[in-house]
Structure 1
Amino acid sequence: MEPYKKINGIVMPIDRTNIDTDAIIPKQFLKRIERSGFGQYVFYEFRYDEKNQPIEDSIFNMPRYEGASVLISRANFGCGSSREHAPWALEDYGFKVIIAPSYADIFHNNCFNNGILPIELDNSMMDVLFEKTYAKEGYKLEVDLEAQTIKDNDGLEIKFDINPFHKHKLLNGLDDIGLTLLKEDKILKYEKEHHLV
């Protein structure tokens, strides 16, 4: 994973509660064995009709949200199955930040392991962000992980909380394997002492 610092990106709104991982990446696209290439299928059923034609009024097909890297949504985002393909797809599509009032636990942890910052804000603050996003085409937010702030160009500034361990992982580009490899010397020493190598 790449170290994560500051994101300045267009905001895309999905104003729904209980977005599940089946909606994020439908089951028919889970045949790939690589972690990449899932972005083209993210929220597929929000984007295409039963004939695989683009749905004209889908936010994913609106030019104003093209290139969005910040996704805002409602409570219990990422519920349903625990598939890690969901954050793979979101990250591959280009989302670096998700802002919602709450997340399913496994999805929340999977985000940190895949370079996505999931931020929790209360419903009243989410209402403000939705209102601003709908009102201004190309609405952008600057998300500074180090400072733990969200800002826009109109003077809005929000502080957010994050677990220090998760913050450390993102700032240093560490997933669980990367954390383990930080102790490679101790692992090799143990293996030699126990004749495992």
Structure 2
Amino acid sequence: MKAFTQLTGTAAPLLEKGKPMSNVDTDMIIPKQFLKTTERTGLSKGLFHELKTLSDGSPRSDFVLNRPEYATASILIAGENFGCGSSREHAPWALLDQGITCVIAPSFADIFHNNCYKNGILPVRLPVDVCQKLADQAGGSNHVFTVDL
């Protein structure tokens, strides 16, 4: 695993009604039907499946990671309690397979938080108002951020 010291990349705001989405559980991150593997690759196809696809399987054009300017996002901005639910390690694997190596949120579920560290994702806890400001900025014209340890 590569040491995390600095990351400059596109930040994608995961929003619901204009606010960073809260209580994103691991089943939302990677639904159970995509857990049939112990490989860490290929999981990005299931990442946020129910949010990013229509019922016919076609991509939703309004989902942030389907938009061209966020297709290569390496930073995800979310709301409180990110990664809640079951302890599936596939959730950070799916984020990594998508290229996301940093998640910024006010709080994380404990197991998800620890799984991030074990898998090379930096979970950054910031106050709710700061996450909102960052999400607003990322949703505007300046969506390239630098995270520097």
Q: TM-score, length-normalised on structure 2? A: 0.93
* Structure 1: runs of 5+ lacking an equivalent: 146-197
The RMSD of aligned alpha carbons is 1.0
* Structure 2: runs of 5+ lacking an equivalent: 15-19
* Cross-structure match for 1:44: 49
* Cross-structure match for 1:113: 118
* Cross-structure match for 1:140: 144
CA distance in 2: counterparts of 1:35 and 1:56, whole angstroms: 26
- Please tell me whether Structure 1 or Structure 2 has the larger radius of gyration of its CA atoms: 1
Q: Is 1:83 paired with 2:88? A: yes
Q: Is 1:17 paired with 2:31? A: no
CA distance in 1: counterparts of 2:61 and 2:129, whole angstroms: 30
CA distance in 2: counterparts of 1:33 and 1:82, whole angstroms: 15
Q: State the one-letter code of the partner of 2:57.
A: N
CA contact (8 A) 2:12 2:139 kept: no
CA distance in 1: counterparts of 2:84 and 2:111, whole angstroms: 8
Q: State the one-letter code of the partner of 2:80.
A: A
Deviation at 1:40, TM superposition (A): 2.0
Spell out, residue by residue over 1:78-136, the C-alpha distance to the aligned partner (whole angstroms, 9 max, x if none). Answer: 00000000001001110011000000000000000000000000011112101211221
Deviation at 1:37, TM superposition (A): 1.6
Q: Is 1:123 paired with 2:110? A: no
Q: TM-score, length-normalised on structure 1? A: 0.71
* Cross-structure match for 1:191: none
What's the secondary structure of 2:81's corresponding residue? coil
